[in-house]
Amino acid sequence: MQDEGWSVGRLRTEVLSGLTVALALVPEAVAFAFVAGVHPLVGLYAAFLVGLITAVIGGRPGMISGATGALAVVMVALVAEHGVEYLFATVVLMGILQVIAGALHWGKFIRLVPHSVMLGFVNGLAIVIFLAQLTQFKDPDTIVNTGHGAGGGAWLAGPQLVTMLALVGLTMLIIWGTPKLTKVIPAPLAGIGIVAVLVIVFGIDVPRVGDMASIEGGLPAFHVPLVPLNVETLQIILPYAVILAAIGLIESLLTLNLVGEITGKRGGASQECIAQGASNIVTGFFGGMGGCAMIGQSMINVKSGGRTRIAGIAAALFLLLFIVVASPLIEQIPLAALVGVMFMVVIGTFAWNSFKIMTKVPRTDAFVIVLVTAVTVAEDLAIAVVVGVIVSALAYAWNNARRIHAITRESETEAGAKVYEIEGPLFFGSTEGFVELFDVAGDPDKVIVDFARSRVVDQSALQAIEAVAGKYEAVGKALILRHLTRDCHQLLTNAGHLVVDSDDDPEYGVAVDYSVKTGILGGH
C-alpha cells in the first residue's frame, strides 16, 4: 500500500479511526452542552454537523471539529439570560463572520503567532483536557444541571473510585501496548472496546455514558431561530457572535497548524475559516450549539491513523448513528475507558520538551510559554493567544528599540562634515534613542545622516527625522539625509529638502499614516 494511495487497509484504518473519535466525542459533547446550559442533543447535533461539514470542505484533512468547551463557557451567559433560541441565532451570525474572515483571507494572520505561544497553547490545552476529565470521577447522580451549566457533584470514593482508576489505567496500558502487537485496530479503539466488554460482561459498577444523560434522539430538523428580526436582537447577539467567531477561528487555526506539523501539510487557513463558518451557519439552523476544531479528538484521529477526509466524515456519521439507532449500546460504555483515552491524548499533546527548551531560549520566550500556558488554563485559549502575541510583540519591539545606534566619522568627500551612520531599525520604539544620538550643539556646521544600514519603518520614525532636522535648522547648521527611500522623500515635509538622492537608495516601503496627504490609512 502506498502512503498516499487507497486500499482496503487504508479505508479500514480511516473508518476505525473515525469510530474511535465518535466514541470520544459523545461524553465531550454532552459535557459541553451541560456547561452551556442546553440539552445534550444540542451539543451532539453540533458535533455531528460541524464535524461533517468541516471534514468535507475543511482546510486540513485529519482535523476533527465539534462542540467545544472554549465556546461553551462563552455561551452560558447568553443562554441563561436570553434562552437557547438566541444561541442558535448567535451561532448563525458567528458562522457568517467566520465565512467573511475566510473570504478576506484573514486566516493568514495566524502566521504571526510565535512558536513560544504555540508551545504554551498546546501545554495549556493539555492541562485543560486533563482537568476536564476529572469531572468523570464524580458520581453522575449528584451532578445537577442548573441551567447555568453543570455543577456540584460528589467525588467517587472507596471501591468505586479504585475500580474507576484501575479501568482508566487498564485502558491506558492497552493503548500503549496495542501498537506493539498490531496496527490493524487503532489503539484507542482497542482500549475502549476491551474495557467496555469487561465492564458489561462482569457488570462492574462504574459510571457509564448513559449516566451522564440519554443520547437518544432523531435526525436534526431544520429550525429557524425564534427571535425577533430587529436591531435589538442584533445588539444582543453580535457581541457574543464576534467573541465566539474569534475563539473558534483561533482554536481551529492553531489546531490546523499543529495537525499540519504532524502530517507534514501546510496551508488551508482561509479554507478552514470558510468551512468553520459554513458549518456553524448550518448548525444554527438545525438546533446545534456551534463548534470549532477539537485538538483532543484531532490528536486521537491523527494518532489512530486518520489522514484523510474519510475519517472525519466517518466520525460524524457514526455519531449520528449513535444518536438515532445505537444509543442503548453506547450508553453502556464506561466513562473510565474514555477518560483513559483522553489521558493518553494529554500525554501525547503536552510538549514535554518545552522544559528543556525553556533553559536554552531567551528568558522572554520562556516567560511567554509559561504565561500562555497559565492563561489558557485560567481563562481561555483566545485570551491566552492574544496575550502571548502582545507580550512577544512588545518584547520584539523593545529588543529592536535597543539596537538603534550610530557610527560617527569625518566625511571623506566633504571637508569638515560629520557623518552619522545609523544602524538598526527606526520605528516608534527607537525614536527616542535615535534623537539622543545627535550632539547638535557640538557638531560642525555640516552634518550628514546616512540611513544605508537602517530602515525607516513608520510615521513615528519620520517624525523623529523631522525633529532632528528642526534642531539643526534652529541653530543654523546644515543637515543632509542620505539613503532614504523614495516614499520617505515624499512623506518628509520640513526635512524633505535635505534629502540627497543616490543611485543606491533602498526600495522598501514605509508603513505610515497617509491621512495628511490622501485622507486614508495605508502603506506599501
User: Cα separation of 229 and 508, whole Å?
Assistant: 50
Share of the chain above pLDDT 90, in %: 58
What is the pLDDT at residue 520? 32
Q: What is the pTM of this model?
A: 0.77
pLDDT of residue 483: 86
Q: What is the pLDDT of residue 148?
A: 46
Asked whether residue 517 carries a pLDDT value surpassing 60, the answer given is no
Q: What's the rounded mean pLDDT across residues 494-520?
A: 57
Quote the pLDDT of residue 303. Answer: 87
The CA–CA distances, whole Å, from 327 to 43, 59, 216 equal 15, 31, 5
Least confident of 25-29, 228-232, 235-239: 25-29
- What per-residue confidence (pLDDT) applies to 504? 62
Residue range 368-381: average pLDDT? 90
| Closest CA relative to residue 43, chosen from 298, 291, 221 | 291
Higher pLDDT, 146 or 516: 146
Is the pLDDT confidence value at 380 over 80?
no
Predicted pLDDT at 258: 86
The pLDDT value given to residue 175: 94
Mean local confidence (pLDDT), 320-330: 94
Q: What is the pLDDT of residue 496?
A: 63
**Is pLDDT of 64 > 60?**
yes
At 435 the pLDDT is 94
| Candidate from 107-121, 192-206, 323-337, 417-431 with smallest mean pLDDT | 107-121
pLDDT of residue 519: 35
pLDDT of residue 234: 96
**405-516 under CATH 3.30.750.24, yes or no:** yes
DSSP codes, 3-61: SSS--HHHHHHHHHHHHHHHHHHHHHHHHHHHHHTS-HHHHHHHHHHHHHHHHHH-SST
pLDDT (tens digit per residue) in 104-162: 999 888 888 888 998 998 899 889 888 888 888 887 766 655 444 455 678 888 898 99
Q: What cell was used for 282?
A: 448550518
Cα separation, 459 vs 243, whole angstroms: 32
Residue 462 pLDDT greater than 70, yes or no: yes
Residue 28: pLDDT band (50, 70, 90) is confident
- When pLDDT is cut at 50, 70 and 90, the band that residue 224 belongs to is very high
Q: Average pLDDT over the chain, rounded to whole?
A: 88
Q: Residues 426, 454: contact at Cβ < 8 Å?
A: yes
Region 214-222 average pLDDT: 93
Q: By percentage, how much of the chain surpasses pLDDT 70? A: 91
pLDDT bracket for residue 438 (50, 70, 90) = very high
Q: Which three cell numbers, joined as nine digits, stand for 218?
A: 432523531
User: 368, 425, 435: which is closest to 402 by C-alpha?
Assistant: 425
CATH 3.30.750.24 residue ranges of the chain are 405-516
Average pLDDT on 353-382 reads: 90
Q: Encode pLDDT of 407-433 as tens digits.
A: 999 988 888 899 999 999 999 999 999
Q: What's the confidence (pLDDT) of residue 396?
A: 87
Grid cell digits, residue 169: 489505567
**Axis-axis angle for helices 363-378, 381-401 (nearest 10):** 160
User: Lowest mean pLDDT: which of 42-46, 106-110, 228-232?
Assistant: 106-110
> Residues in the chain, how many?
524
Question: Is residue 516 scored above 60 in pLDDT?
Answer: no
Residue 421: φ, ψ to 5°: -90, 105
pLDDT exceeds 90 at position 510 = no
Between 42 and 112, where is the model more confident?
A: 42
Lowest mean pLDDT of 142-146, 211-215, 306-310, 504-508, name the range: 142-146
pLDDT, mean of residues 38-42: 93
Interatomic CA distance for residues 406 and 420, integer angstroms: 6
Q: What is the pLDDT of residue 458?
A: 87
Check residue 145 and give its pLDDT: 53
